[in-house]
Chains A and B, each alone.
Chain A
Amino acid sequence: MKRKHLLLEIVVVLVTIGAIYGFTTKSSTPNLPTFADGYSIGDEATDFELKDVDGDMVSLSDYPDAKGYIVIFTCNTCPFAVASEDRIVALDQEFKKKGYPVIAINPNNPEVQPDDTYELMQAKAKEAGFTFPYLYGGYKTVYAAYGATKTPHVYLLQKENGKNIVKYIGAIDDNVRNGDAVKERFLANAVNELLAGKEVTVKETKAIGCSVKQ
């Protein structure tokens, strides 16, 4: 009797899996674009060497005292990136001194997106008062390694045994358009949890952004 019951359960489970699978294949893209690649939570993030707007080359390893990094893919003119500028500066001011500096990377190819040339990045950093590196050349390999698909796109890394481990991926907060209307600061909450030695509760979030221009 018990065995019969078990058998029935297996059948039900199999049918359910089949149905879900059928639905999934039907509803999702057959040829998934590259956004499925890149880092997941818990992956080790690669270091890089990219040119800052002041001419210096910058790597994560240049910050031996950092506990981790707030890596933000952003650009000059995407309205969502522009709307986030003040918040990114504020995040750097809040968390650099606590060991989590902001490292901004522009992932756009200036040949495709002429608003994102090195010179215009320099102008943007000055005009917006960036207090953190704003790195050029992210379009070559770094954006793809991380799996950044849009701007802004955040990766929070924590140093663990000399490795940079991805702890959070996604949005800065729950209102990309308007910083004054934010109810939940996803990124800041995640950094604060890491600082408190806790696990990040909300590990991944979504926000609308401009597609990376390659």
Chain B
Amino acid sequence: MLLAVLVLLTCCKEKEDNGDTATIEEKSEASIVEEVPSNSKTVLLPTYNFEGLSERYFEATNDTLYVMNFWATWCKPCVKELPAFEQLRENYSDKNVKVVLASLDFPDKVESQVLPFIKNKNLQSEVVLLDDPDGNTWIPKVSRDWSGAIPATIFLQNGERKFFEQSFTYESLEKEVQTFINQQS
């Protein structure tokens, strides 16, 4: 199993290192760290640039299956599918499945829109703010298949990834989760 993971990781690295994104990634490496400060008042939502998000979830080495959904309060199809993710969280909370809702709302809208939205919808899943304006650098790191349109969802477990640029119903979401769980056992 460990060997399989190692092989996967190596492939993953190879995959990222070659191809058309290489030059772009190289060039903007510096801008990942150097975050553009927003009109930062007190931010009450865990906020990461992509590097931070990646360290916390993409590179996590526990057995947790992270289901990360990229969304925003103003994105209608995103808001429409949120109940499916909430239901997944509820039904799979004891099965080592963790839903992470990565908001792409503008940082200056956190207080006026995102926090009230979380409260009104009574969202129980973990919500984080992905504050990283240079999408050209980090979007290909999520998946080279991603055009940048939201909603989008990635399943992450021990270095394994599966990415979808689409909307989910609860059924289609659960089906993917089951696939991951079955692979583990």
Contacts and interface: CB of A to CB of B under 8 A. Distances in A.
Do chains A and B interact in one complex?
yes
Interface of A: 16, 19-20, 22-24, 26-29, 32-33, 35-36, 77-79, 113, 149-150, 153, 170-171, 174-178, 181, 183-184, 186, 202-213
Contacts of B145: 28-29, 32, 35-36
Nearest to B107: A177
Interface string B56-78: 00000000000000101011110
Interface in B1-55: 7-8, 10-12, 14-15, 20, 23-24, 28, 31, 36
B11 A19 contact: yes
Given A27-B163, A175-B134, A210 B75 contact: yes
Given A20-B11, A29-B164, A35-B147, 19 more contacts: A16-B14, A20-B15, A27-B12, A29-B145, A150-B149, A174-B28, A177-B106, A178-B36, A184-B28, A202-B23, A202-B24, A207-B135, A207-B139, A207-B148, A208-B104, A209-B150, A210-B150, A211-B149, A211-B151
A150 B148 contact: yes
A25 B171 CA distance: 22
A74 to B, nearest CB: 13
26 contacts: A19-B7, A20-B11, A22-B11, A23-B11, A26-B160, A26-B162, A27-B160, A35-B145, A35-B165, A77-B74, A79-B72, A149-B165, A150-B148, A171-B135, A174-B137, A175-B134, A184-B28, A206-B139, A206-B140, A206-B147, A208-B148, A208-B150, A211-B77, A211-B150, A213-B76, A213-B77
B36 to A, nearest CB: 5
Nearest 3 A-B pairs (CB), nearest first? Answer: A150-B149, A23-B11, A206-B139
Contacts of B15: 20, 23-24
Interface string B126-137: 000000011111
A113 B7 CA distance: 45
Chain B interface extent, by class: 35 or more
Given A206-B148, A211-B77, A174 B136 contact: yes
A23 B162 CA distance: 10
Nearest to A178: B133
A33 B28 CA distance: 29
B11 A28 contact: no
B158 to A, nearest CB: 13
Nearest to A171: B136
B133 A206 contact: no
B136 A207 contact: yes
Nearest to A148: B147
Nearest to A170: B136
Contact of B165 (A19, A24, A33, A170): A33
Contacts of A36: 145
* Highest count of chain B CB atoms <10 Å: which of A22, A153, A178, A206: A206
Contacts of A204: 20
